[in-house]
Structure 1
């Protein structure tokens, strides 16, 4: 292999190995937040969801205790579950614990961020700036990438949702 070809191959390997920049990850203390995202919203919609994966690489638990952003008047961590055959959703009391060594996935149809009284519906391709506040790691500024409205749909019928 000629030296020029080796240089090109090396450059390609270096470019491909920089995926954390493209992977949309954030770190603070022992916590790693992977790919915060939200769904595009319909015109006139006032609530939106936020999703991500949080990993605690430490030996002590941490807790997500607040989320703030200029895009909504109220933001909470919500949990969806089935109770006596009825799907319910409500705020996770006391914040969301991330146990040591654990990964918590916030996803559609499960634990998720709930943006309420959204000022302007989220549009695909936008980035929503927010600050996640943890008990131990403190504030972590993130951006939720707005994905297509149908991303992560699992076929749940929301007609019987009790909020």
Structure 2
């Protein structure tokens, strides 16, 4: 004869199944209407004290939002930058008033475009490592993400 599992056993199994179905690594955060996906940082050469980071931000709301700041214990400070061509020369400049994500829009931070610059790294970005960061949005608040460090193009 077969006995029925207790309510607690069923609840426990449901919680375990939910945890297992959630992607590990927490490389995506949903903060209200903002979804941050695939954060990664480029592995550094040697003992570099500067690094770059990339990710994709989707805004699923009816109003624009702005990425205002990024914070992490891995670096003394982090800036949002963009690459642009001036007089046929590729230049990098800091975004001063935050990076706008249009209503129902997507912004991709990638090599050669918008990106994050990590200054005065406490340790070089080593391929295979990861680190936590907080992305601060003007309206959506803070999104916690984990950057994976990898080689460019991988």
TM-score with structure 2 length normalisation?
Answer: 0.82
Q: Is the 8 A contact 1:39 1:151 kept in 2?
A: no
Alignment of 1:110-121 (within 5 A): 110-121=113-124
Q: Which runs of 5+ in 1 are unaligned?
A: 1-13, 153-163
Which is further off, 49-58 or 121-130? 121-130
> 2:23 — aligned with what?
21
Task: Tell me the distance in 2 between the aligned counterparts of 1:34 and 1:95.
Answer: 18
User: 1:151 and 2:118 equivalent?
Assistant: no
Q: Secondary structure at the match of 2:126?
A: coil
Q: Which residue of 2 aligns with 1:123?
A: 126
SS in 2 for 1:21: coil
Q: Mapping of 1:1-163 within 5 angstroms?
A: 18=21, 21=23, 24-148=27-151, 150-151=152-153
Distance in structure 2 (CA, Å) of the matches to 1:35 and 1:77: 17
Give the count of matched residue pairs: 134
Point out 4+ residue stretches in structure 1 off by more than 4 angstroms: none
| Gap runs ≥5 in structure 2 | 1-16
For 1:69 and 1:120, the matched residues in 2 are separated by 12
Describe the superposition over 1:53-84 as per-residue Cα deviations: whole angstroms up to 9, x where unpaired.
00000001110111011111110110001111
RMSD value, Cα: 1.6
